[in-house]
Amino acid sequence: MRRLFSMFLAVIMICGMLAGCQSKSEPAPQETNGAAADDTKKEDAGEAAKPEESKAPEEGKELPKIACLLNGNLGDKSFFDSANAGMKLIKDELGCETNVIEMGFDNTVWETTLYEVSDQDYDIIIVGTYQMQEVLEKVALEYPDKKYIIFDSAVSYDKEDYSNVYSISFKQNEASYLAGALAAMIAADDSLPLSNGEKMISVVAAMDIPVLNDFIVGYIQGAEDTVPGTKVAVSYIGDFNDTAKAKDLAKAQFNLGSSVAFNVAAQAGLGMIEAAAQNERYAIGVDADQAMALKETQPDQSKVIVTSVLKNIDQVLLLSVKRHIEGTLPYGKEEALGMEENAVGLAVNEVYDGIATADMKSKVEELQGKIQAGEIKVPSAFEMSEDEISQMKSSVAP
């Protein structure tokens, strides 16, 4: 009955779209044919296969039909665009039929859309972020024969039988550690044109939630370990799409003395990057290589993005589908992906090469090697209490 009701709601939604009643600020789900953050602990997450361990599917193997539901919109030059790029890779490299559906930021349509898509003939349905966790947990139980992948979050395997769900989490704290180290070195060097030498950096995050605090914890620790005494200002927007507020918060941080601001806000963070360009300060992007993503359309913004903390969502989704076809994808399990699996890292491009000094690059490479070798254990927000996170932020506040 619920499925029939969901389908009925979907028909109403489609009719509304045809009648031109769709809101411009909160668009209803849109489909893009294959072109192209997490509250659970990671302590029990398994180790993932490395990209080189999975080969292209053999000819003759049945290829799955795949849908990817985005609980936002394309054009963020970051998280969702990276997922879309992954779907394009799956289509182009594996030959799978794919479909990307933009559900927008109106969370009242997410569950209905997931039910509707689950009723269709897709073999794999992909969703992402902590915001989709509870929705997926509800729907996946009612479709045990469907396969689901959730990235940047995980379902609660200890509560129900989610043997049809594969969860991907990222060790964003590792790459953020390198970003903090780099930012601190830049902020301490007044020979750089956009640095004031005051040893202060900052973060503009979307929300005060574990997956985003995991970025912040790594960023602070990297700065402290590399340039002791560095101050770190932390501000939260309250959502993932308010670019105007992100811009205002970043401007306030720059006025306070920050030389480098870190975008941990996906689409909203584009406002932070705009503020960096206008205030002649440096920015660090997130999830995708934002300097290169903005190079053609916003060159003035692109040239201040010294690097980006990468979540290689595109490659991770491609690898996951390859493993599904091979029969090796571990449904019923969460896997945590970090530097060792090439799932996270820093963007190295012409902007990075032009801003970071030789000594800075050498130090970043040294720290990366130590993290990969296990010589540096980067703290994680998932292993800290709220009080511990607050104390860490307070200890470096300007």
pLDDT band at 50 (very low <50, low <70, confident <90, very high): low
pTM of the model: 0.81
In-domain check, residue 40: no
Same domain, 119 and 267: no
Q: For 224-256, how does the pLDDT look when each residue is reduced to its tens digit (9 = 90+)?
A: 999 999 999 999 999 999 999 999 999 999 999
Same domain, 159 and 180: no
Pairing mode, if any, of strands 344-346 and 305-311? antiparallel
Same domain, 180 and 238: yes
Q: Which amino acid is at 286?
A: V
Domain count, the chain: 2
Task: Supply the pLDDT for residue 11.
Answer: 39
Same domain, 281 and 389: yes
Q: Note whether 42 and 382 are within 8 A (CB).
A: yes
Same domain, 187 and 137: no
- 12: burial class by Cβ within 10 Å (0-12, 13-18, 19+)? exposed
β-sheet bridge partners, residue 101: 31, 69
Q: Note whether 337 and 327 are within 8 A (CB).
A: no
Residues 6+ apart with CB under 8 A from 75: 81, 267
In-domain check, residue 257: yes
Same domain, 72 and 176: no
pLDDT band at 58 (very low <50, low <70, confident <90, very high): low
Same domain, 383 and 366: yes
Strand order, beta sheet including 260-264: 231-236, 200-205, 260-264, 282-287, 305-311, 344-346
Residue-number span of the structural domain to which 82 is assigned: 65-170
Q: For 357-377, how does the pLDDT look when each residue is reduced to its tens digit (9 = 90+)?
A: 999 999 999 999 999 999 999
In-domain check, residue 26: no
Same domain, 370 and 249: yes
Same domain, 150 and 228: no
CATH of residue 154's domain is 3.40.50.2300
Q: What percent of the chain has pLDDT over 70?
A: 85
Last residue of a domain, one of 170, 205, 224: 170
Same domain, 166 and 199: no
C-alpha dihedral over 313, 318, 319, 324, to 10 degrees?
120
